[in-house]
Amino acid sequence: MSKRFLVAICTCLLAASAEPAFATEDGTQHYPIGVNTVADGNLPIPGMLQLLTYSEFADNPALANGSGNKAVPKFDLKVEAEAFRFLYTWDMPIGPFHYTTGLVAPIVNLDLNVMGAKGHDLDMGDLDIQNYLGYASPDHELFYFFGLDTYIPSGPYNASTLINSGSNYYTFAPNFDITYNPSPQWELTAALFAEFNTTNLADNYHSGDDMDLDYGMTYRPFSGLPNLGLGPQGYFYKQISDDTVNGTAVSPNGNRGREFAIGPQLRYDIPFGGFVLKYQQEYAVENRPRGEKVWFQFAMPIFGTPG
């Protein structure tokens, strides 16, 4: 999802402030930071095809500059996204691991208002192809996997419009995801992602590489409702290299973004799936849109459950 600001607006912002208005190309990234806060290390069992859906509602009433202050007097970005993820784990083991392949297809609805200029786009976002090796301990206390997400520029993109659902560049995202269940009442989980981007050939803008850590904790306090859990969750995001244009770093500091988010989540588990409702408030935001998110997530097996 690329939030294209008008060239005239960008020029005005850079002239009015010593800090840039956004980090990575227009303050976004391919990986939906904050999405993985429940059962991050769990994959479908061998022979199972699983469907996961992610509904995101984000309201960003401010755009932060490199000092964390408002970069634009009037800014509002609203994002509604629905992503469909299919995961299949193959039967044949590879040593202690199993191989899982996946595909994520997002649909995004974007509304942007910058100093009176308005943009809207409703369309498919960029596809994500996933390849993982997963491990489950015999006692089912520890689950983890590692692999690569590859985002391809399949969503529509027009450099002359204010906002786009596609980003017009590839991203390669190695990641490691882990879940630890010390008891039936507790779950600790985390997902570590790194993103390495190619150049947007429409404007020769190269978004800097970044890292994100999603985290979550679940406690199931009710013995009569063992499938109901709650706890804190959120993420840490930091850009680790400069944005560049034609190979030159964007001044003054490479437009490097960062942010932190935390909030509560409520979940209800079903066999090989479940429901999650969560809220995230963003803090310490630099060179990025700043606001809050609400997520609703659902997972269920399509086929391959044990008899």
Sequence-distant (≥ 6) Cβ neighbours of residue 105 within 8 angstroms: 83, 84, 85, 124, 127
Give the model's pLDDT for residue 139. Answer: 95
296-300 LR contacts (CB < 8 Å, sep 24+): 296/54, 296/55, 297/35, 297/38, 297/52, 297/53, 297/54, 297/55, 298/52, 298/53, 298/273, 298/274, 299/50, 299/51, 299/52, 299/53, 299/272, 299/273, 299/274, 300/50, 300/51, 300/270, 300/272, 300/273
| Inter-CA distances, 156 with 133, 166, 239, Å | 31, 5, 25
Helix (H) or strand (E) holding 188: strand 186-197
Cα-only R_g, the chain: 20
Classify residue 18 as left (phi > 0), alpha (psi -120 to 50) or beta. Answer: alpha
Give the model's pLDDT for residue 9. Answer: 30
Say which CATH class 7-302 falls into: mainly beta
What global pTM score does this model have?
A: 0.91
> Where are the domains positioned within the chain?
7-302
CA 270-275-277 angle, to 5 degrees, is 155
Residue type (1 letter), 149: D
| Inter-CA distances, 78 with 81, 120, 163, Å | 10, 10, 11
pLDDT averaged over 10-residue windows placed end to end, the chain, 307 residues:
36 31 64 97 98 97 90 92 98 97 97 92 97 97 98 94 92 98 97 97 94 98 96 97 92 88 98 97 95 98 89
